[in-house]
Structure formats: structure tokens, C-alpha cells
């Protein structure tokens, strides 16, 4: 009489082959998730950039000499002297959690400095002409809240 089914050795061989395939595919899957998070942060940086430019246009009618600054927290941290009255908070809807930013715009509309961090990734750029200049290659990994929240780091360049 013939038995139907698989032997234990055959089942173990199939399980071993599947385990090897999973081990080979896992790094690619993890890299895909990491790239997706980095691309999401890149979009957040571009949103901050675009919102700062829009806010600048809306506020430019009442603007005086100097630079504008916006912060994610209370809108005044780091603003000193004559520019303290111009410090504002951008209206940004962020779906992935808390992030900090600092944008400095000259009175002619040029973005002098932009710094954004979500605790996992950070972006820092000077004299950024447009949002397309912000790429995933320029985004750094690491917890960098301290760099963005430091008032001296968000001061107007001399």
C-alpha cells in the first residue's frame, strides 16, 4: 500500500529553501521602507519651503527691512532684536509626527537658510533657490532636533 504525502526530509528542505529566500529578500524590503520614510521627510521639507514662501508673499505688504523667521514651536524662539516681531509659525499639517524647522527669508524673498528635522532625518540648506533643489541625497540621518531648536543656529547670517 502506497502512502500519500511528503516525508519529513522533504518538508525540512522546503522550509530551508523558503528561509534562505526570506533572508535574501529582507534587506531589500527594509531598504524600501527606509527609502519611503526618507522620501516622506523630503516631501515635508518641500512643504515647509513652499509654505514659507507663500507666507512671505502674504506678509510682504507689511514687511520692514530685515529677514523673516518662522519656527515650528511657539513662533518666537531664536528671534532677536528687530526681527523678533517678524517671527511666525507656519500652518503645516504634518501626518508623520512632530518636526522642527527654521526658515530665514530676506526681504527680497530669497531663502537664506532652511533647517528641518523630524528626529530621524534632517535637512539643512543655505540659499536654496527652489523646492526642487531639495533632494533625498541632501537629507542626513540621525537625531538632530538640537541643531534646529538652537536659537543661535537659526539666527540671521551676518
Mean pLDDT, consecutive 10-residue segments, the chain of 158 residues? 84 97 95 92 89 80 56 47 56 67 79 83 84 85 60 51
Give the range of the structural domain holding residue 21, as residue numbers without chain letter.
8-149
Domain count, the chain: 1
Single out the residue of 68, 112, 105 nearest to residue 87, CA to CA.
Answer: 68
pLDDT (0 to 100) of residue 78: 46
Residue 75 lies in a domain: yes
Residue 155 lies in a domain: no
Write down the pLDDT at residue 28.
95
How buried is 116 (Cβ within 10 angstroms: 0-12 exposed, 13-18 middle, 19+ buried)?
buried
pTM value > 0.75: no
As a whole number of angstroms, the distance between CA 79 and CA 108 comes to: 19
Q: Is residue 19 situated within a structural domain?
A: yes
1 domain-assigned: no
β-strand partners of 115: 102, 124
Contact 149, 77 (CB under 8 A): yes
Q: Kindly tell me the burial class for residue 18, based on how many C-beta atoms sit within 10 Å of its own C-beta (0-12, 13-18, 19 or more).
A: exposed
- Could you tell me if 93 and 132 are in contact, meaning their C-beta atoms sit under 8 angstroms apart? no
pLDDT of residue 127: 82
- Kindly report the length of the chain: 158
- CA-CA distance, 119 to 145, in Å (whole number)? 6
- Please tell me the predicted confidence (pLDDT) of residue 72: 46
Residue 29 located in a structural domain: yes
Q: Is residue 26 part of a domain?
A: yes
Amino acid at each position: 500500500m502506497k502512502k500519500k504525502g511528503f516525508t519529513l526530509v522533504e518538508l525540512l528542505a522546503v522550509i530551508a529553501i523558503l528561509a534562505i529566500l526570506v533572508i535574501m529578500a529582507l534587506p531589500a524590503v527594509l531598504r524600501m521602507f527606509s527609502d519611503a520614510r526618507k522620501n516622506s521627510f523630503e516631501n515635508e521639507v518641500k512643504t515647509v519651503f513652499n509654505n514659507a514662501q507663500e507666507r512671505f508673499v502674504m506678509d510682504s505688504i507689511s514687511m520692514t527691512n530685515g529677514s523673516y523667521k518662522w519656527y515650528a514651536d511657539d513662533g518666537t524662539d531664536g528671534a532677536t532684536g528687530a526681527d523678533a516681531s517678524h517671527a511666525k509659525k507656519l500652518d503645516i499639517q504634518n501626518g508623520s509626527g512632530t518636526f522642527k524647522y527654521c526658515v530665514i527669508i530676506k526681504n527680497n524673498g530669497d531663502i537664506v537658510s532652511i533647517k528641518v528635522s523630524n528626529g530621524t532625518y534632517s535637512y539643512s540648506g543655505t540659499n536654496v533657490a527652489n523646492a526642487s533643489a531639495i533632494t533625498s541625497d541632501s537629507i542626513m540621518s540621525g537625531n538632530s532636533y538640537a541643531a534646529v531648536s538652537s536659537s543661535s543656529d537659526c539666527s540671521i547670517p551676518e
